[in-house]
Chain A
Amino acid sequence: MSSFHRAERRKSVAERSPSVSYAPDTIPQLAGLEKPQEHNLHIGECDVLVMGTGLVESVVAAALSWQGVDVLHIDNKTCYGDSNSTLTIEQVKSWCQEVNSGRIQHFEDAQVYVTGDIYHPQSKFKSKDYGIDLTPKIMFAQSDLLSLLVKSRVYKYLEFQSLSNFHIFENDSFSTKFANASSKEEIFTDQSLSLLTKRYLMKFLKFVLEDNNDEDKRKTLADNAKVTIYDFLSQKFNLETSQINELIYSIGLCIKPTTKTPEAIARIRRFLVSFNVYGNFPVLVSKYGGPGEISQGFCRSAAVAGTTYKLNTALTDYDPQLKLAKFSDKSSIKINEKLIVAPTQIPKFLQSSYNEITESLKKVNISRLVVIVKKDCKEWMADQECSAMVVFPPESLNSQNKTSIQALIQNGGTGVCPPGQSIWYLTSFEQDSIKAKQDLQCAFEKMESSILRESSDLDDVLDENLSVNKSGTSLVVNSVKLGKSLQNFVPKETLEIICKFGFTQKTYVLNDLSNVINPTDENNVSLRKTKDCEDIIFTNMPSSEISYDGIVKECKTIYQAITGSDDDFFDVDFEDDDEFNPAGFHQQPTTSSSNLKTSDNDMAIASSDDEDNAHPFGADEMEL
């Protein structure tokens, strides 16, 4: 059983998007990306060594490369993505083992359960049909990372799909009152809202969308800097709790009731300005996986610009005087400028420096529960879409959750699992990890009973609804179904679970991203000075943020620390007038997950045949 997971890997970005889609005049050899790197590194020197192929590190590698910097990019793992990886089920299993054996820092308490079905010789689905993100994320249509993807042309390696449905769990039921509808249009035409409510909602939305330089707005925000968003909305805009919860937790994706007004307004604004940028939805998700997929896109771009890649390679020693780095493959290379080190890649000899700079920083826990279920969960998704968000506000669960739980649901249409199945990513921001687990489990159970009820009485509801409302849009259908209380529902069937996987991740990035947005040498790991070695820059572990916010800023901070300025960050003239074409978004699910077929394609990639990590698995597997 254990023999096949050695070289297992998902199809790479490169395989899905052959280089013809992106053809600069000269394409350097994609060392390590499209062809396996030779056994040893055969370069004598480089300007910058980047360790870890997580999202931030990959963007930085690409940015530096396009500016003419000679970059060597390595990872001590056998696949791309580091802490942002998109993993197959088998890879998840070995990852759990490594975490629990202490070989991967900053992760704890990894647990995985996998149904035996998948190993059945006749099973239609294999481990490789799944792409599980360690850091699931959604992308706002108006956001700096999306602009960067366009500017850098990396979007060409990726496929995006829209996500419109944001459900909120409240009073023991799911609802979408206006999260899908946070536009003037919906508020104008919605017959269920009173004129007064319409008025206050619109007033608030208008306030949020007002130019941030507007004097009145600035003053209002300054006056309410210490006021919680809940008080602000109830006192200044007379909104009711259910509307406020939706604005704060669903549209704003805030995590706790004490979120202050300016931060919450910025979060709500981000949602609203993203509407109608590429269509009538606020958010996009990348197909086949999130940050793992995007990291690979940037690695590929970096390779085009000349970065050398090697996986399964670690730094073993570094001499600051001679600037000489030694690697686990026995090669040694001179590093002319800097070393960028991801926290999961820290060699033993740097551990004390890292401990020193992080000593005084606040540690944040992020707890995740990932469940793969045999249901496509279409009931939660908008017409023609394959992803949805579900949010549980604080105090909405029986476990008396103090912070919200955010859940991203993606079905086979997104290429992360086979058709008819879906992956649920639940995240808790609770610092007490035992409590976090309870909250996650509780939220999972609510989702479970909800999806069972909805899929079982779908036809009744449809009939009922059609007789009530002639227009019968999917939105109305959804809200009627999801609006039903769960209390009286006894499931007739149980939910079939393929895989259940949980862990806790640590980071020094604060939940409000304040130490990323305004980094100083006091608050941010990357800017803290290391005493013994000035050449080293540590990066951050991924933040708890469900969106990609903060990523570009982090990259620029590191880029600036190396080049002295971020003015020329991705300042590349690609000389083609190709514009980002919204029509290129695949809003419709592809009919099959043909890209996930298990054909073993050996011509490519990135994986390490040279090292064996065939530890027997099973020791860490247990049900959560």
Chain B
Amino acid sequence: MWHNVKKQTLSSEARLAKIERDKEKIHSYNKLKDEIFKIRNEGSHTVEFLNKLTDLLGLNPEFYTIWNIRRETLSSLFHQHQLDSQSTLEDELKFVMVLMKRYPKCYWIWNHRLWCLFQLGKDANWEFELGIVSKLLSMDERNFHGWQYRRVVIENLETHDDLENLKINLQEFKFTSSKVNSNISNFSAWHNRSKLIPKVYHLVGKLNYQDEPLFQSKESLLLHELTLVNTGMYVDIDDSSIWVYLEWLLSDCFFIDELSNDKYHDILNDQLKIINELNDLEITDNGKDNCWCLKAMIIINELLDNRSAVRPLLEKLIDIDPLRRGRYIDQLDSF
């Protein structure tokens, strides 16, 4: 599958040249592949066989069956004590790393890496994995596999020691801060933040941990996050990430349940005021309301039970956000 690859047109000359070049490549690739399947069917597991698999995976790391055969072979060689599992697996991780650098988006490579680490059990170096995945996310900040891998790494770094776990997750929280600072559009980081906040808060409470002022009360945490989001709104009003995160802050029971009703209403009203002011600036600059402001106002008014305020906002949205016109009309009808 091609993603974001510009179309290339080869001249007929270049095409013929490529066919000529490919002939040899196809021949040796197929020869190697056939050999591997033949050996597999014979059920023979040897170190030389492993080398053939290395060669093929170097040519085509997407070939999932070959990864399966490799794992079968490794397991069998460990079982027969022909190879020392720890040192072999460590070499295997190096091999995987070489491939990862060349094919950072290949799912099967990540999969095999995890298999090796699980095989290593307590000998696995998860801190090192955390370093790798941080590097990857610095190059490709929204890589889906990268974030998923990071969560797996964290799960495996966690122990039965709550204090240790708190520190690990606090560090993760700070990691999301740095990612959000460097690009507020990084919703992957906002998402992870929303998962980490309740987790860290819970651990801070359980351990009565005093060193982290931000996590002493849900209210201060909420206000801190709102400040961040409000800055984001001013920096880039059309960035959907912050608006999605704002809705979470204002409506999730994690924050709301412990707030008094009055306090909650105050926070909502303050936020409504900030968004109103921002929307006024937009009207001055562009001559029209900003859709994200209006959508957020709808959410806040609904939370405040100001149903009467919602209808005119929806009516405006029908005009200024024509892509989603049908949605607003439906929502109006439901009044």
A-side residues, CB < 8 A to B, are 184-185, 187-189, 195-196, 198-199, 202-203, 206
Contacts and interface: CB of A to CB of B under 8 A. Distances in A.
Given A189-B181, A199-B281, A184 B235 contact: yes
B97 to A, nearest CB: 16
A9 B235 CA distance: 53
A196 B234 contact: yes
B181 A199 contact: no
A198 B231 contact: yes
A188 B237 contact: no
B61 interface: no
Given A185-B181, A196-B281, 8 more contacts: A184-B235, A184-B236, A188-B181, A188-B235, A195-B230, A198-B234, A198-B235, A206-B238
B182 A185 contact: yes
Contacts of A187: 235
B232 interface: yes
B234 A206 contact: no
Contacts of A198: 231, 234-235
Contact of A206 (B231, B236, B278): B236
Contacts of A195: 230-231, 234
Closest 10 pairs (CB-CB, A-B): A195-B234, A199-B234, A185-B182, A202-B235, A188-B235, A189-B181, A198-B235, A198-B234, A202-B236, A185-B181
Interface in B209-232: 230-232
Most A C-beta atoms less than 10 A away, residue of B183, B230, B235: B235
Nearest to A197: B234
Interface in B186-220: none
B298 interface: no
Contacts, number: 35
A610 to B, nearest CB: 46
Nearest to A575: B21
Contacts of B278: 199
B234 A185 contact: no
Contacts of A188: 181, 184, 231-232, 235
10 contacts: A184-B183, A184-B184, A184-B236, A185-B183, A188-B181, A188-B231, A189-B181, A199-B237, A203-B285, A206-B236
A187 B185 CA distance: 14
Contacts of B231: 188, 195, 198
Contacts of A184: 182-185, 235-236
A417 to B, nearest CB: 35
Contacts of B236: 184, 202, 206
The main secondary structure of chain A at its interface with chain B is helix
B156 to A, nearest CB: 30
Contacts of B232: 188
A199 B233 CA distance: 8
Contacts of A202: 234-236
Contacts of A189: 181
Contact of A199 (B183, B184, B185, B235): B235
A48 to B, nearest CB: 25
B10 to A, nearest CB: 11
Interface string B136-170: 00000000000000000000000000000000000
A47 B102 CA distance: 43
Contacts of B185: 184
Nearest to B181: A189
A103 to B, nearest CB: 48
Nearest to A236: B285
Nearest to B284: A238
A206 B181 CA distance: 17
A195 B235 CA distance: 8
Contacts of A199: 234-235, 237, 278, 281
Interface string B284-306: 01000000000000000000000
A277 to B, nearest CB: 13
Most A C-beta atoms less than 10 A away, residue of B181, B185, B230, B236: B236
Interface in B312-326: none
A70 to B, nearest CB: 23
Contacts of B234: 195-196, 198-199, 202
Contacts of B181: 185, 188-189
Contacts of A185: 181-183
Contacts of A203: 285
A185 B185 CA distance: 10
A310 B92 CA distance: 55
A199 to B, nearest CB: 4
A223 to B, nearest CB: 15
A575 to B, nearest CB: 10
A321 B297 CA distance: 82
Nearest to B185: A184
A444 B235 CA distance: 38
A205 to B, nearest CB: 9
Interface in B230-287: 230-232, 234-238, 278, 281, 285
Contacts of B235: 184, 187-188, 198-199, 202
A199 B281 CA distance: 10
A187 B231 CA distance: 10
A196 B230 CA distance: 12
A476 to B, nearest CB: 15
Contacts of B238: 206
A189 B230 CA distance: 12
